Each structure stands twice: as C-alpha cells, then as structure tokens.
Structure 1
C-alpha cells in the first residue's frame, strides 16, 4: 500500500499501512443511492412526448456527472490516501492524479496526541495530531482507523528509534 518494499531503507520495517476510516465514504455512498434512485425514477416515470429519448439521455448524462463528482471522486481520494508507519518514519501519501507524499522521521517527532468525539469512539476512529521539529511543525490526520492501536504502535516506534534499535516483526 503506497510505500513499496523497495522504497524502505536498510533495516526499516513496515509496522502498519492503512487508509482513512471508511466513515469518509458514508456521504458518497448516500449520494450514489440517491442519484441512482432519483435518475432511475425520473427516467421510468417520464411521460411520453416527442423528445423523450433526448430527455432520458439528458437525465442519464446528468446522473453520470453527479455520480462522478459526488461518489467516484471522493472514493478515489479515499482509496489513494494512505498512511504507512515504519520503524524509521511515518509516511502520508495523498492524491489521485498528482501525488503528494510527506515523511515524518521518527527522530523529529516531538508530541503525539489523539482526539475522539463520541461518534468516533463508537466507530473506532479519531484524529491524530503529530508535532515535529520539521518545516510544517504540526500535522493533523483525521479519520484514523483503530486510533489507539496506531498511537500505541507510533509510541513503540518512537521508543525504538530513540533506543537506536528498531523492532523486527
């Protein structure tokens, strides 16, 4: 996922690789259902008139356009956003057509904190805040699945990096 084995440095071990939580797809899924149901009903119940085929084609084209914008593009963004935690760095990769990759070296991480709303606790996700001694200084990662597990693994990786001996898995 996002960080192939040949991009790992010598002695670097992949600890966890994941996408944002699936809750990001709830809105696009409901949009898909509503657009398909609405356009299907519009095409089926359209009264017969001289240009009914053109009207049905226009509804279909409009539906495909809306599906692309409100369902397919958000799915592609979700699918092409990935987080990879290794023994040496935390990599954030985003982008569908243009790719952006940020690496946070374990040696530069200062503070890690987590926030969860009640709904996020129920769904098992949350927001991870990582402060580093880098150019940006603070990175907020929303909708991290299994937040507490990721946080614990990040702390283990930080401890191992501080000891100078990354844990082998």
Structure 2
C-alpha cells in the first residue's frame, strides 16, 4: 500500500513507507486463534436445549467482544500507523477515527538514535528516537522494521538535505 501522493510537495518523493513490525500483531493473532478455538469447543461440548443455547450465545458474545477489542483493534491500529520517510521530511500518521500526525522536516532533525532489545534484534526491529530543533517534542517510532537501517537512511537524507541547502549538491 503506497502513501497518498496528495500529501507530498511537488518535488518530494517517498523513500520508505513502513508500518510497525508484524511482531506487533503476533500476540493479538494468538489471542484470536485461542478465542476461535474456545468458541468452537464450546459449540461442540455445550448441551442441547435452552440452557445450552443461552450459554452458547454468551460464549459467542464474549468471543466477539474479545475478538473486536483484543484482535481487530490492534490490527487496525497497526495498519493505520504509517512511518513515511521522504526526500524532505519524516511523517508519522496514526489513527482511524481520531487521526494524528507529525511531520519533521529533514532540516530540523538534529539526531536520530535507535534502540533494540534482544527480542528486537532477533526479529529485526527496534525503536527510533528523532530529536528535532524547535518547540515541537521529539518523536519516538516504536517497532520499526530494520530500525538500524532506517536510522542510517534518515541520517543520510539529513546530510544530503543539508548539503543541498548549502549548495554543495548531492
């Protein structure tokens, strides 16, 4: 899925468009499988008759609630979180019903650092901390796939942007 071109400046190009690492939705996937399995088992073992029917509806209602809250919501949150790196800025977009976003121009980025736990290193993810000049707070991008490569990419783009602004070319 590409990022909408209508948010880009005329000469701006998307260099990298990321969502948080797939590991973000692993636990909700496991929860979903367990809930569906439990609902199927309940369907098979609950007795016939009115008591069994009421219990079945309670189990199915609880399963639907858990699936919506603990499975579907994290998937939607994951897919609606965008980390977009362009030739001019780093954009962060989050949310479906309530959207939020932040753009940090490359010229305002003063430092980019990454952090990886042991698990992050095993799955190839990490967190990025982007410090920016000015009044706006720094930005933390969590569960970024290939965070060390993304950090290097942003640093390279910041350097290229700085050289371009000084007239040194790329």
TM-score when scaled to structure 1?
0.92
Name the CA distance, whole Å, in 2 between partners of 1:153 and 1:50: 63
Residue 54 of structure 1 pairs with residue 75 of structure 2: no
Residue 42 of structure 1 pairs with residue 42 of structure 2: yes
Superposition RMSD in Å:
1.7
1:124-163 paired onto structure 2 within 5 Å: 124-163=124-163
How far the C-alpha of 1:116 sits from its partner, in A, is 0.6
User: Bigger CA drift: 44-53 or 95-104?
Assistant: 44-53
Name the CA distance, whole Å, in 1 between partners of 2:135 and 2:27: 34
Residue aligning to 2:106: 106
Counterpart secondary structure, 1:55: helix
Total equivalences in the alignment: 167
Name the CA distance, whole Å, in 2 between partners of 1:30 and 1:45: 22
Name the CA distance, whole Å, in 1 between partners of 2:50 and 2:65: 25
How far the C-alpha of 1:101 sits from its partner, in A, is 1.1
Counterpart secondary structure, 2:50: coil
Counterpart secondary structure, 1:113: strand
Higher RCO, Cα 8 Å, sep 6+: 1
Residue aligning to 2:78: 78
Q: Unmatched 5+ residue regions in structure 1?
A: none
1:60-71 paired onto structure 2 within 5 Å: 60-71=60-71
1:82-97 paired onto structure 2 within 5 Å: 82-97=82-97
Name the CA distance, whole Å, in 2 between partners of 1:46 and 1:135: 60
How far the C-alpha of 1:41 sits from its partner, in A, is 1.1
Runs of 4+ with >6 A deviation: none
Residue aligning to 1:117: 117
Contact conserved, 1:2 with 1:82, CA < 8 A, in 2? no
Deviations 1:17-61 (A, max 9, x none): 010001101110111011111121122111234332222122112
